[in-house]
């Protein structure tokens, strides 16, 4: 990568501190370039600040570029399912500001770190989670979290309290607070909100309703955790 392009990507990279203020990430898999603008506007309206677009989506480079353009500084746009260095290169060329993987792919994580791009490798078992963290993960994506539920976060945090975990899979407005209470540092949601039929007919009101509910449930749960922490 030439130095000018590298500087551009550094300027566009995810603000991790900002993400930790609202540690809720949307995952878009599918759709098309025409849905990007109304979807980004709907997500901004709902209060979401972080969106991952999966690299196994058709015409994904154009979708990421358009999302970055529409979002501006209102939302952080990244790429998911980055399981090869070729996909990493394509994602960064399109303007992705962070990288997400379903598993640990050491060369992808190493290259993202070399370029100072936040990276979220996936893992499930304690050994995988530890290996992903040691690789230099910004956070470790616990996937699929729905198989074991929120309590699994608590079990993992026991020996690995310093490892930051992002729960992905099965997160809803009904259980998002449980995931954080159990020790998750962030969560991600996808198909439950970005349903293909709703996107196909541009039912952005449904997206706004669901994302607003998720964020509202997170904030309510966060408030309860903060209040509990303040007790003598």
Q: What is the 3-state secondary structure (H, E, C) of 60-77?
A: HHHHHHHHHHHHCCCCEE
Is the pLDDT score of 3 beyond 70? no
Coil, strand or helix at 111 = helix
Whole-model pTM: value is 0.91
Number of domains in the chain: 1
Structural domain containing residue 13: 3-230
Q: Which of 14-18, 53-57, 90-94, 219-223 has the lowest mean pLDDT?
A: 219-223
In this model, does residue 7 exceed pLDDT 70?
no
Q: What is the pLDDT of residues 150-203, one digit of tens each?
A: 999 999 999 999 999 999 999 999 999 999 999 999 999 999 899 888 888 889
Task: Please check the confidence at residue 8 and state whether its pLDDT lies above 50.
Answer: no
Residue 125, pLDDT above cutoff 50: yes
Look at residue 5 and tell me whether its pLDDT is greater than 70: no
pLDDT per residue as tens digits for the range 99-120: 999 999 999 999 999 999 999 9
Residues 81 and 101 sit within 8 Å (Cβ to Cβ): yes
The model's confidence at residue 16, banded by pLDDT at 50, 70 and 90, is very high
CATH code assigned at 55 = 3.20.20.70
* Cβ–Cβ under 8 Å, residues 115 and 92: yes
């Amino acid at each position: 990568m030439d130095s000018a392009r590298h500087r551009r990507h550094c300027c566009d990279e995810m603000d991790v501190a900002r993400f930790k203020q609202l540690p809720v990430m949307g995952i878009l898999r599918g759709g098309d370039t025409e849905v990007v603008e109304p979807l980004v506007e709907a997500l901004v309206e709902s209060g979401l600040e972080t969106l991952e677009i999966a690299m196994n989506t058709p015409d994904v480079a154009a979708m990421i570029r358009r999302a970055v353009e529409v979002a501006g500084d209102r939302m952080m746009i990244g790429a998911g399912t980055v399981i090869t260095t070729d996909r990493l290169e394509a994602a960064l060329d399109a303007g992705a500001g962070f990288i997400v993987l379903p598993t640990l792919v050491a060369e992808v994580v190493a290259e993202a770190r070399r370029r100072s791009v936040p990276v979220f490798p996936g893992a499930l078992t304690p050994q995988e989670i530890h290996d992903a963290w040691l690789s230099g993960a910004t956070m470790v994506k616990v996937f699929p979290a729905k198989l074991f539920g929120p309590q699994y976060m608590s079990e993992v945090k026991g020996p690995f309290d310093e490892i930051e975990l992002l729960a992905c899979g099965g997160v809803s407005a009904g259980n998002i607070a449980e995931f954080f209470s159990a020790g998750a540092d962030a969560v991600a949601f996808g198909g439950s909100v970005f349903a293909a039929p709703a996107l196909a007919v541009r039912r952005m009101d449904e997206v706004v309703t669901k994302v607003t509910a998720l964020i509202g449930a997170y904030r309510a749960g966060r408030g309860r955790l903060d209040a509990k922490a303040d007790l003598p």
